[in-house]
């Protein structure tokens, strides 16, 4: 079983070594993102592994198909970067990793909520300047607030379960699939109800045509004044400009985001001392009511190990038994 892994990062080295031992293989490793310029490196391999910031479009898939590669997999949960129509046309299969540690994202989400409510970034910025005053930055307590969770799957459920311990006024959940586990802590509601009734809205949905910019100018109008928005899923579910405009008007009191809709070539890169020619991003990172983190909510030892191991297992299962439980549907 010959596999090439693209976009290999230093922090994955230990996890890759462990996975190679477990599956008795040696991966071909490429530190660059998968692109049309380096896709030829996959020739002679049975499958490839890439990340969510690799744009796996029609030209790349056609090249892979010409190398007789029938299966590809991303080592992320999201897969909006893969051209599913071309995948289907070429009769190729693809997998993802929906089951890596949900605690990684859920814990970071709760951290983001608490930091936003308590104005943590503003307070710490003052401390760095030896300004130890408390004026104009009073916080709020979760127990006095209602929380809306959009996307109540494995990660969303862990967020709900954790937040329930803070005893908020109410937790609303919105998802196309309902579960009894979620119902122990939250009330399933329409998207409109979640938007209208929540003081905190946290996003845990996949990025699809139906969820693209689900937070936008019109949906923000439905929200309560001083609402807090948290995004630890995909950048494209939020219209960044609309949120920033709402912060400027005071409609949104705080926004914590671990992702950005145009994050490729920005997040996960050391750009210290360089000019970022993205006015929207610069506006985002310079707003003191925004907590911007570098797409790191997943970044725990357990989650990284899961993502590497399960992506290899997707390929192993496909080659050995002809199917993987983590196949991506192209229907």
Question: Which one, of 72, 71, 76, lies nearest residue 98 by Cα?
Answer: 76
Q: Which two tokens stand for residue 134?
A: 């408390």
Bridge partners (DSSP) of residue 228 are 200, 254
Q: Which residues are within 8 A (CB) of 121 and not within 5 positions of it... i.e. 6 or more apart?
A: 115, 288, 291
Establish whether 234 is a catalytic residue. yes
Give the E-state strand segments of the chain in sequence order.
3-5, 28-29, 47-50, 71-74, 93-95, 146-150, 170-174, 187-188, 200-203, 227-231, 252-257, 290-292
Choice among 12, 197, 261, 263 that is catalytic: 263
Residue located via tokens 């230093």:
10
Question: Which one, of 64, 55, 52, 53, lies nearest residue 3 by Cα?
Answer: 64
Alpha-carbon distance values, 87 to 4, 60, 96, 140, 328 (Å): 19, 10, 14, 48, 10
Choice among 12, 154, 234, 309 that is catalytic: 234
Choice among 71, 75, 154, 295 that is catalytic: 295
Q: Which residues are marked as active site?
A: 234, 263, 295
């Amino acid at each position: 079983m010959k596999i090439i892994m693209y976009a290999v990062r230093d922090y994955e080295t230990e996890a890759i070594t462990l996975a190679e031992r477990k599956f008795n293989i040696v991966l071909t490793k490429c530190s660059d993102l998968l692109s049309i310029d380096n896709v030829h490196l996959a020739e002679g391999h049975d499958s490839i592994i890439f990340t969510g910031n690799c744009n796996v479009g029609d030209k790349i898939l056609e090249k892979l198909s010409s190398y007789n590669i029938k299966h590809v997999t991303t080592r992320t949960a999201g897969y909006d970067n893969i051209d599913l129509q071309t995948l289907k046309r070429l009769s190729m299969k693809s997998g993802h990793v929906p089951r890596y540690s949900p605690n990684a994202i859920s814990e970071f989400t709760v951290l983001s909520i608490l930091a936003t409510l308590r104005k943590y970034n503003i307070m710490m910025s003052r401390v760095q300047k030896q300004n130890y005053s408390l004026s104009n930055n009073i916080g709020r307590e979760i127990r006095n607030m209602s929380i809306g969770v959009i996307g109540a799957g494995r990660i969303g459920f862990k967020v709900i379960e954790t937040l329930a311990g803070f005893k908020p006024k109410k937790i609303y959940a919105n998802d196309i699939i309902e579960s009894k586990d979620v119902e122990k802590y939250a009330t399933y509601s329409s998207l409109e109800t979640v938007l209208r009734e929540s003081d905190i809205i946290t996003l845990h949905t996949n990025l699809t045509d139906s969820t693209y910019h689900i937070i936008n100018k019109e949906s923000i109008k439905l929200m309560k004044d001083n609402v807090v928005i948290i995004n630890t899923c995909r950048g494209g579910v939020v219209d960044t400009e609309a949120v920033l405009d709402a912060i400027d008007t005071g409609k949104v009191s705080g926004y914590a985001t671990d992702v950005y809709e145009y994050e490729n070539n920005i997040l996960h890169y050391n750009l210290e001392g360089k000019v970022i020619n993205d006015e929207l991003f610069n506006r985002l990172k310079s707003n003191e009511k925004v907590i911007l983190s570098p797409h790191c909510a997943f970044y725990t030892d357990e989650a990284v190990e899961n993502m590497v191991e399960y992506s290899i297992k997707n390929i192993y299962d496909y080659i050995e038994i002809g199917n993987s439980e983590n196949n991506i549907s192209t229907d």
